[in-house]
A = this chain, B = another copy of it.
Amino acid sequence: MAEKKIPYKIYLNENEIPSKWYNLRADMKNKPAPLLNPATLKPMTAEELSPVFCEELVAQELNNTDAYIDIPQEIQDFYKMYRPSPLIRAYFLEKALDTPAKIYYKFEGNNTSGSHKLNSAIAQAYYAKKQGLKGVTTETGAGQWGTALSMACSYFDLDCKVFMVKVSYEQKPFRREVMRTYGASVTPSPSLTTEVGKKILAEHPGTTGSLGCAISEAVEVAVTSEGYRYVLGSVLNQVLLHQSVIGLEAKAALDKYGVKPDIIIGCAGGGSNLGGLIAPFMGEKLRGEADYRIIAVEPASCPSFTRGKFAYDFCDTGMVCPLAKMYTLGSGFIPSANHAGGLRYHGMSSTLSQLYHDGYMEATSVEQTSVFEAAEKFARVEGILPAPESSHAIRAAIDEALKCKETGEEKTILFGLTGTGYFDMVAYEKYNDGEMTDYIPTDEDLEKGFAGLPNIPEE
């Protein structure tokens, strides 16, 4: 084979860290549907969004036309702290699976937040600082986003208030300490510190919380506190924009060795990692320059792509946020408490939803015991203990590699390894003890969530 010998880890040089983010929306014929003002049902204007989000982030949120947006120097400097992240050839996994497939993964876990979330956290903190704000509020599920934001706020000396989904707060006490070490305050959600929290607790006493609840609380605090704005770690267009560094670096590393993936796989909760990983590849696909199979992997217990509706819905449980058109299970949907694998959000990025609706990508759902089985196999052969979220992508990548083994096809698979599982040992313990169970919502369960969808007349 004339092919260049590919190392275990492909590192770009520091000066190859992208200097521009890639804005996928610029290349989409069907743009993602706009956010709607829930009172008027008209598209949210920049003016309407600015009490919630920083001004520059509002501009990015609404920008469907510029394909590239400069990364400010301050953010590029911070990126040097932990980027470029390695693109790893999974030689050990390929050997263990005895597959002719060639597997690559982009590993975003080598930073203290433990995930890709830092890519957007530092951008959002930067714009908040630039606007002269005192601080920001946010929600966190597994805790990765909260940790990332704490690190970013610490760097720019901003106050950081985190609402953490109660089930994660309890399962991951040490996450709270990491956030505190970076100076953040952390409140389990739903809490009695907000009006919306009190309301949710009154309606659902004993709830273990959801991202949708925590978002409502964080937004309430942001809009009622002087000098604060709300920031979000997923779902939004701006987040996918920032996360495009993942895909841009991955593509640059593959290009160095002349490698073109056949299949690109990412786990999908709100879409931040998937949207970032696939961005430049999807761009080529949209422009007709190349073709790729792109697969979103979600938990069977929270199946927004595979079993949700493509409809306008609230982004949060408290219904204080704008409406987004997306694949959704309904803002009232809360996954079963036995679900340990993250990716608990009821909806999905509008951008990815539109692309899925238009047939540019596929989606699949996997059950959590099979996810942890894949995680453990991966940990043992590749030496990285993966986050449960990331392990959804591992599961799908292994399944595709095993299909190649059957057919003898030498497909090239790229997947996103979004983070590490050091703070997920309660879930691993459950799996190690054989006490992990699966949960698939029944159609009746889903109907309850759909019943709460707002009734928006088609234009």
Q: Which residues of A contact B (CB under 8 A)?
A: 7-9, 11, 13-14, 80-82, 92, 110-112, 114, 151, 154-155, 173-174, 177-178, 180-183, 376, 379-385, 420, 422-423, 425-426, 428-429, 432
Assuming the contacts A13-B7, A183-B380, asked whether A425 and B80 have C-beta atoms less than 8 A apart, the reply is no
Which listed residue, B80, B174, B380, touches A174 by the CB 8 Å rule?
A: B174
Interface centre among A111, A112, A383, A428 (most CB of B within 10 A): A383
Sample (27) of A-B pairs whose CB atoms are under 8 Å apart: A7-B13, A7-B14, A8-B14, A8-B80, A8-B81, A9-B80, A81-B92, A81-B383, A111-B383, A112-B379, A112-B384, A112-B385, A112-B420, A151-B383, A155-B380, A174-B174, A174-B423, A174-B426, A177-B429, A178-B385, A178-B422, A178-B425, A180-B428, A180-B429, A181-B376, A182-B379, A183-B380
> A422 near B81 (CB under 8 angstroms)?
no
Count of this chain's copies in the oligomeric assembly: 2
Nearest-neighbour CB distance to chain B for A53, whole angstroms, equals 25
Interface centre among A151, A174, A180, A423 (most CB of B within 10 A): A174
Q: Tell me the complex Cα distance, A436–B247, Å.
A: 43
| Identity of the chain B residue whose Cβ is nearest the Cβ of A15 in the assembled complex | B7
Across-interface contacts of A383 in B (CB, < 8 A):
81-82, 111-112, 151, 155
| Identity of the chain B residue whose Cβ is nearest the Cβ of A10 in the assembled complex | B14
Apart from A110-B110, A112-B379, A178-B422, 10 more pairs, CB < 8 Å:
A9-B14, A11-B11, A114-B422, A174-B429, A177-B425, A177-B428, A177-B429, A178-B385, A180-B428, A181-B432
| Identity of the chain B residue whose Cβ is nearest the Cβ of A372 in the assembled complex | B181
Q: Tell me the complex Cα distance, A35–B407, Å.
A: 59
